[in-house]
Chains A and B, each alone.
Chain A
Amino acid sequence: MIKWLRSESFTAWAFMTPGLLLLAVFVFWPIIYSIPLALTDYSVISDTHYVGLDNFEAAFKDRNFLISIWNSLVYVLIVPFLQIFSILMAVLVNSRIPGIKIFRTTYYIPVVTSMVAVALIWSWLLGNNSVVNYLLMQAGLISKDIHWLSDSSLALYVLMFITMWKGLGYYMMLYLAGLQNIPQDLYEAARVDGASRWRLIVHITLPLLRPYVLFCTLISLMAAIRVFDEVYVLTKGGPGTATLTSSLYIFQKGMEQFNFGYASALGLIVGVVIAVLSIIVFRFNRKGGINPY
C-alpha cells in the first residue's frame, strides 16, 4: 500500500481524479443514463412509462429527424475547407513578417467572441435590406435583395460559412503550434539538397502535421454535427426544415416539447453516427506523422 502511494501511478491518478469525477457526473453519467431513458416516454413533468424500442422505431420514421441528420451530414462538408484554410492561414502567420502578431490576434477574435453575438451580427449583415445586399448592389453584382437566411437553397450554406468563419482562428492556432513543433533542421537539410519551397511544404510540413490534422479533423467533425448556437439564433432550423440540424431537433423535442425519452433516443442515434464518422477518419489517418507529444 505504502509502495503504491509512492508510485507514479498513484500521483497520476491523484491528479486525474478531480477531472474524472467531474467528467463522470456531467459527461459519462448523462450518456449512460440516456440509454434507459430512451426506452421510456420520460417527460420530467408527468408519469414515466416503459415503451421499449418505440422511440427508436419512431425516430427512423420521423421525416424531420432524417432531414436533420442529412443536414448535419451536409454540415460536415465544412471540415475539409476548414482544415485547408486554417493550415494556409497558419503557414501565413508562421512567417516572420513585421506586425504578424496583429494578424494572429485579429484572426483569433471571432473564436473568443460569443457565438450568440456573432450570430446576431451576421443576422444584421444578412437580413432584409442588409449591409451585404447593399454592398453587392452598389458593386452591380446583384439587382435585387438576396434572402440569405430565408431562402432554403442558401440558408444552410450561409450558416456553414459563419461556422467556418468563426472556427478558422481556433484551428489556425492549433496548426500554428504544430508548425512550430517541426524541427527546423529538417528544413535546413532539405534546402541543402536543393528542395523548393513547395517541396518543403509537401514533403516535410504536411506529413509532420498529420497528427494535428487528425485531431483537428476529428474535433471539427464532431462540432459540425453538434452545431447548435448559430442555427438556433439565426434560423431556428428554418425556413421549413432547410437548416434543421440534429442538435437543434433534439433540443426542440426535449427542452421545448418535453419528450425527453424520445430526445434521448435521437441523441443516442446521433452519437452512433458521430462514432462511425470518427472511426472512418481514424482509418484514413492511420499512418504517418511524428508523435508531437
Chain B
Amino acid sequence: MTKKAKGRLRLLVSMLVLVVLLSSCGGGGKKPENVNGGKVTLQFWTIALQPTFTPYFNRVIADYEEKNPNVKIDWKDYPYDAVTNKLLTSIASGSSPDVVNLNTEFASQMGSKGAVVDMNEHLSPEEKAAYFDGIYNSTVINGKAYALPWYTGTEVLYMNTKLVKEAGLDPAHPPKTREELSEWGRQVNRKIGKAGYAQQLVSKLFAIDGIPILNKEKTAAAFNTPEAVTMIDNLKKQMEDGVVLKEDAEFSQQVKYYAGEQVAFELAGPTFINFIKTAAPDVYKNTIAVPVPTGKADVRLSNTMDLVVPTKSAHVNEAVKFAVFLTNAESQTAFSKAANTLPSTKDSIKDPYFTQSDQSLEAQAKVVSAQSLDKATDYMVGVPNAKDVNSAVTRAFQNIILNGTDTKQTLTALEQEVNDILKQ
C-alpha cells in the first residue's frame, strides 16, 4: 500500500470513529423528569399568541396552578413557521414538550405516525361530549382521537358592497349556495371587469360538495367519482370565465386581492377582518359579513387549532388534564372573548357574546359563524398522513385546473397516489 493510500485509509477510519462517537451523543435517551421538589413542570407550547394574549394565558395558568399545586406550567410561544422544526428537534433530543398547540392537519400527521397520545383513552364520555362532534372527530383516526379541539373558525362570506352595487346586485339578498355565488361572480365580472373571488385549491373543495376524500374505513381514496369530475371541471370553467381568479391563491394572496378590490368576495374565517382593517381601511368600511354559501353537501367547514400531548411527554396524565382544562367551556369562552375566535365547546356559544351583534363587521362575522358551529366539521376528518394527502390533492387540482391535464386521468392517478400514501 502506498503512503498516499495509507493516509486516505487513516482519514477514512478516523471519520468513521468520529461518526460512531457522535452517534452515541444522539438524543432519544432517557426522558427528562421535569420534577422539582415534588412539583411537575409541564412544557406548554402555543403558536403566535404572545404578546397579544399574554394576559389571558397568565390568568388561566395562575388559575390552574392554584387548583393544582403540584403542577407548574412553563408556557412558550413560537411563530407558526418555527413550531414544526422546534417540535421535531425537541422530540429528537429527548426533551419533548407536554402540551402543544397544532392545527388539525399537523395533529393528524403526527397521529398517523403514532407520535401523540390517544385522548379517547384519557377522557370520560362527559368530557368528550362537551365538544362539537364534528370538530372533535376531525382528528379521530381508527377510533383514536389524536387531539383536543381548541379555538376554531368557520368561514363566512365577506362582500365588498361598493363593487357588488356597481355590478347591479343587492347585498341585502346575498347568495346562499355556491351556484348563486358563481352567478354573482359572473355578473361582477361582466359588469365591472373584476373577478368574483380567489380560491385556494385544497381538498376542502371535495368536502364542500360532499365528495368523501377517503372511504369509511379510511383505507382508500374515494374521490374518483363523476361528481368530482363535474365539480373540478366546473371550477376550471369558472376560472376561465373570470368568475374565480385563475390562480391557486393562498390566504395571504386572497387578502391582497380583496384589499386591492380585484375581487368582490372573500370566503374566510374571522381573522380575515384584522388583515383587511390594517391593509385597506376603506375596503373594510364597505365590507359586510353574511353566512357562507354552501355547496351540495350543505356543511359549514371549520378550521380548528388543537392541543396535542406527544407520546414522548414525561407527564402524560398531567398534560392531558391541563389540555382538558384549557379547552373546557369556561376557558374557551374567555379565550374567544379575548381573541375574537370561536370556541369548540357546545356550552360556550350559549353565552350572549356569541348571540348579540352591535352590527360591526367583527360582531356580524362572529354571530354568523358561531351559529353554524353545530353543523361544523373539519374537512380533513380522520385522514391519516393528512399533509401528504393534501399536497397530492393540491398538485392534482393545479394540474387539471391550471395546466389543463385531463380531469378523469389525473383523478385516477391521484387515487393511486393517495392509496400509496395510506399504505405507508
Chain A interface residues toward B at CB < 8 A: 24, 28-29, 32-33, 43-47, 64, 127-129, 147, 149-152, 237-242, 244, 252, 255-259
Contact = CB atoms under 8 A, between A and B. Distances in A.
Contacts of B248: 150, 238-239
Contact of B402 (A240, A255, A257): A240
Contacts of B245: 128
Nearest to B399: A240
B246 A128 contact: yes
Contact of A152 (B84, B109, B403): B403
Interface residues of B, number: 41
Shortest 6 CB-CB distances between A and B: which pairs?
A240-B399, A45-B115, A239-B402, A152-B403, A239-B398, A46-B113
Interface of B: 15, 18-19, 22-23, 84-85, 88, 91-92, 109-110, 113-115, 195, 245-248, 253, 256-257, 260, 262, 310, 312, 385, 387-388, 391, 394-396, 398-399, 402-405, 424
Nearest to B263: A128
B391 A240 contact: no
A151 B402 CA distance: 6
A33 B403 CA distance: 39
B395 A29 contact: no
A127 B109 CA distance: 32
Nearest to B22: A29
Given A45-B110, A46-B114, A241 B246 contact: no
Contacts of B402: 147, 150-152, 238-240
B257 A128 contact: yes
B387 A256 contact: yes
Contacts of A32: 15, 19
A128 B262 contact: yes
B403 A44 contact: no
B403 A258 contact: no
A149 B248 CA distance: 10
Contacts of B387: 256-257
22 contacts: A29-B18, A32-B19, A43-B115, A45-B91, A45-B312, A46-B113, A46-B115, A150-B402, A152-B399, A152-B402, A152-B403, A238-B394, A239-B399, A240-B395, A241-B399, A244-B395, A256-B391, A257-B388, A257-B391, A258-B88, A258-B109, A259-B424
A64 B394 CA distance: 13
